[in-house]
Amino acid sequence: MTIEQKDSQFIQKSIDEAIERYGAKQDELIPILTDVNRAIGYLPGEALDEISHQLKLPKSQLFTVASFYRMLSTKPRGRHVIQFCENAPCHVAGGRQVWQALMDELHLGPEETSEDGKWSLLTTSCLGICGVGPVMMIDDDIFGNVDPKAVPDILARYH
């Protein structure tokens, strides 16, 4: 079995599971896309084709939704996704220095993915834990009171 076939099967399986869970209805489109995005890491064109087919919706409509929401991505993302809160409470609590430290450490700009596919550096809207700003999220882990000096240590925990 080639890797590509395996991927196609995996994509198919992720889509089938999501549609099974929510039902093939237009108003379930966002939950379906969210689940598939989570399973695969992003929404490849192949997946949008298949969902479009099963939900009987034009692919253009799927793409317009997939490209609108921040948590859905039509481009591949790194193995670890860093989401940095760039909002005012974190900003006044010293967020700018943390953001700079992240960019320096990873040699990445905003919304970029590293060449080795390890990291994606994104900004996020408020995570609602403003009491402990600056805040960032790596995959599903939340880090509060982040100090710029602690950034290398935090990143080193991920392989």
68 near other proteins, judged by CB under 8 A? yes
Find all residues with CB under 8 Å of 55, minimum gap 6, and list them.
19, 24, 25, 26, 29, 32, 62
Pick one of 21, 70, 75, 107: the residue that binds other proteins (CB under 8 A): 70
Q: Based on C-alpha coordinates, what's the Rg of the chain?
A: 18
Q: C-alpha dihedral over 115, 117, 119, 124, to 10 degrees?
A: 100
29 near other proteins, judged by CB under 8 A? yes
69 near other proteins, judged by CB under 8 A? yes
Q: Closest CB to other proteins among 8 and 124? A: 124
Query: Applying CB under 8 A, what is the total number of residues that bind other proteins?
Result: 38
Q: Closest CB to other proteins among 157 and 159? A: 157
Determine the Cα–Cα distance for residues 112 and 126; give it in Å rounded to an integer.
20
Q: Closest CB to other proteins among 9 and 64? A: 64
Stretch that binds other proteins, among 3-11, 25-33, 44-52, 150-158 (CB under 8 A): 25-33
Site for other proteins in 71-110 (CB under 8 A): 71-72, 86-93, 100
Q: List C-alpha distances in Å: 139 to 33, 80, 127, 144.
A: 18, 6, 13, 14
65 near other proteins, judged by CB under 8 A? yes
In Å, how far from its chain's centre is CA 49?
A: 20
Applying CB under 8 A, the residues found at the interface with other proteins are: 25-31, 33-34, 61, 64-65, 68-72, 86-93, 100, 124-133, 144-145
